[in-house]
Amino acid sequence: MKNKSVVANMLYKFVLEIFRILIPVVTLPYVYRIFNPKIMGNIEFSQSIANYFFIFAGFGVYVYGVRELSRVRDSEIKRNELFRDLFLISTISSILVTIIYLFYVYLKFKYDLLLRNFLILNSIQILSYVFYLEWVNEAFENYKFISMKTLIIKIINFICIFIFIRYSGDYYKYLFLLNIFIFINNLVSYIYIRQYINLNFRNIHLLKYMFPLGMIVLISNVNILYVQLDKLLLGFYATDIVELAYYGISHKVSAMLMSVIMSVVTVVVPRLSFYLGKFEIDKFIKEINSVFSSVWLILFPISVGLAILSKEILLFFSGDKYLNAQNVMIAFSIRLVIIVVLSILVNIVIFLHKREKIIVVISIICGMINTLLKYFLIKKGILTALNAIGSTMIAELILILLAYGYIYKRLKIKIEIFKINYLKYFLCACSFFLIKLIYSPKNNYILYSFIIFCICSSVYLALLLLLKDPKIYELKNILILKLRRKNE
């Protein structure tokens, strides 16, 4: 296999995640101004119902497929057999779940025609899981194709929304566009990967995958004891229902930023899995330590930036009615650091070592700790959005300690999560507080936020260049090389 640059893959993935954030930032305000709250409420409700079926339609094949195909991608026979088996499993599960879903919709919502029609349109996305094979491209590290394909399809989708969605009665068109472009995106990937994979249906073995795939489904949904639990309990027991609204908007913004940060991590998963498959542990350790250095490079400025612009971000996304959520937003900016470290340790290091049982056990233990902390807050009658996320962060910190302890003691891997050298990223990011203090807010908060972003980004990069940070210079050299190639 051609050795592809990890940094280049990170760059492709990073640009894609940025674009995935920018599209909703533009389209959602437009859509919400066309459709009334009742319509948007029904669309959101229909999608929340469909989301439960997505879990079983995918059946954990994506995550499992990236890990296992990365290990055997150099063997044509093994990769073809693995793809065939996982493709058949996802096809069967997608079709069965779609049938069950449609039966459920017709029986449960036969008197609510609007919601029923929305749910039927969502079945397009459930069925599209048959072709949800991006895990093959990730295993082969085809991040340039993934990025270019997704960008083109999203741009076309973006244009179609502004062309076809113009009136309050265009809600069916809107939901159809959302679902059909997901289907097209998956179908294009299926067509592309056939150059790497040949299908044959001899010696099929499906049962051996059931347990690990089932464990992955369980792992993927263990978050019901964390953030999802917070939302549920805030809805029932918060001192004021607006606390749930404050929590929700803060979580949405931090989740968008989380996807950007993790974009520089997920691109190395196939290579890490490949090293483990070849028993090259030293290379695995070196690569994972390099990941942490890359993560801290962007994690600290994003976290600090979210904190200093929390007020302006709330104004942009939700208006002045949500300004009381500022402290909650700041808390989520701190949690961003915790959850990224946790994701790398649990979802990458431990998972790639095929220790799914350990992930489930320690996640449940810390989830129960979080539940007990919530119980205490409820009994005292003091449950708020701020202390809800605070108690969740405590549980997640304990989970980090358990995960790191297992990696160090059982897996015998010494991971350098944080070195003194990484402190420079935090100190450089702290300059943002001084910049915010000096440059006082103006009336136009959007322009002000943009100026602050530009100044802070420039100062951060300038400081790292002065400090001769190797990661910054590596990225700089790659960009210069690509520009030269384009000019040749």
pLDDT tens by residue, 349-400: 998 888 888 988 999 999 999 999 999 999 998 999 899 999 999 999 999 9
d(CA 69, CA 77): 11
d(CA 83, CA 119): 31
User: How many percent of the chain have pLDDT more than 90?
Assistant: 33
DSSP summary character for residue 225: G
More confident residue, 113 or 39: 113
DSSP track, 128-153: GGGG--HHHHHHTT-HHHHHHHHHHH
| pLDDT of res. 110 | 80
**Residue appearing with tokens 């104004």:** 315
d(CA 276, CA 473): 29
DSSP summary character for residue 35: S
More confident residue, 51 or 175: 175
d(CA 131, CA 188): 9
More confident residue, 484 or 353: 353
pLDDT digits 0-9 by tens, 183-232 = 999 999 888 888 777 777 777 778 888 888 888 777 766 767 888 778 76
d(CA 253, CA 272): 29
Question: What is the radius of gyration, based on Cα positions, of the chain?
Answer: 23
Instruction: List the one residue out of 149, 127, 156, 259 whose CA is nearest residue 193.
Output: 149
| pLDDT of res. 94 | 92
User: Do residues 413 and 349 make contact, with C-beta atoms less than 8 angstroms apart?
Assistant: yes
Phi-psi region of 200 (alpha: psi -120 to 50; beta: other; left: phi over 0): beta
40 — pLDDT class (breaks 50, 70, 90): low
d(CA 312, CA 306): 10
| pLDDT of res. 372 | 96
The arithmetic mean of pLDDT across residues 137-159, rounded, is: 86
| pLDDT of res. 453 | 92
163 — pLDDT class (breaks 50, 70, 90): very high
More confident residue, 101 or 318: 101
Please give the mean pLDDT across all residues of the chain: 84
486 — pLDDT class (breaks 50, 70, 90): low
Q: Which amino acid does the sequence have at 98?
A: T
Instruction: List the one residue out of 180, 186, 177 whose CA is nearest residue 146.
Output: 186
**Residue appearing with tokens 């289907």:** 183
d(CA 201, CA 26): 46
Instruction: Examine the pLDDT at 459 and tell me if it is beyond 80.
Output: yes
More confident residue, 473 or 434: 434
| CB-facing half-sphere around the CA of 480: CA atoms within 13 A | 6
The arithmetic mean of pLDDT across residues 130-140, rounded, is: 84
432 — pLDDT class (breaks 50, 70, 90): very high
At a CB cut-off of 8 Å and minimum separation 6, what does 48 contact? none
| pLDDT of res. 328 | 93
More confident residue, 482 or 377: 377
| pLDDT of res. 195 | 76
pLDDT digits 0-9 by tens, 220-266 = 667 678 887 787 677 668 777 677 767 877 887 898 888 878 877 87
User: Token pair of 182, please?
Assistant: 């997901």
User: Token pair of 31, please?
Assistant: 């859509």
User: How far from chain centre, in Å, is Cα 309?
Assistant: 22
User: Token pair of 263, please?
Assistant: 């974009």
| pLDDT of res. 379 | 92
440 — pLDDT class (breaks 50, 70, 90): confident
Helical ranges in 61-170 per DSSP H:
61-72, 76-108, 113-127, 134-139, 143-164
User: Do residues 75 and 197 make contact, with C-beta atoms less than 8 angstroms apart?
Assistant: no
Instruction: Examine the pLDDT at 485 and tell me if it is beyond 90.
Output: no
User: Do residues 223 and 366 make contact, with C-beta atoms less than 8 angstroms apart?
Assistant: no
